[in-house]
């Protein structure tokens, strides 16, 4: 599954109106979300370093906390925060993680 298949497209209900500058950088902000999803769904067995474990926890809390910065990044990417939060929850519930440009299945070990 390609990156653009994982993240809802521009037809997804937006979190709010985008400024022209935000539209110019939507792909960048989408990349921020995809990296957070990669970090948060990294299987425990792959967390070889303290930094990996820390990144995994921080990404999880960022994706589930619905904070102002998360909402702003989603708005800049052109997606609703609840859409990303729901997608992340689905990945966790199904024991899947993002690897490269696709989604893989492994025991998630929350």
Q: Is residue 13 part of a domain?
A: no
Number of domains in the chain: 1
Residue 36's domain comprises 3-8+30-104
Q: Which of 106, 104, 102 is nearest to 34 (CA)?
A: 102
Q: Is residue 23 part of a domain?
A: no
Mean pLDDT within 1-15: 44
Q: Is residue 109 part of a domain?
A: no
pLDDT digits (tens, 9 = 90+) for 9-58: 444 444 455 555 545 688 899 999 999 999 999 888 777 889 989 999 99
Q: Which of 3, 7, 25, 5 is nearest to 72 (CA)?
A: 25
pTM for the full predicted model: 0.71
């Amino acid at each position: 599954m390609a990156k653009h298949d994982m993240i809802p497209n521009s037809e997804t209900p937006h979190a709010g109106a985008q400024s022209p500058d935000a539209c110019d950088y939507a792909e960048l902000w989408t990349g921020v979300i995809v990296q957070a999803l990669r970090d948060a769904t990294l299987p425990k067995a792959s967390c070889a370093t303290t930094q990996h474990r820390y990144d995994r926890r921080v990404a999880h809390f960022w994706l589930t906390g619905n904070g102002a910065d998360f909402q702003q990044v989603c708005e800049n990417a052109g997606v609703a925060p609840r859409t990303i939060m729901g997608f992340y929850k689905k990945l966790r519930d199904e024991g899947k993680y993002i690897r490269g440009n696709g989604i893989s299945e492994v025991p998630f070990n929350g």
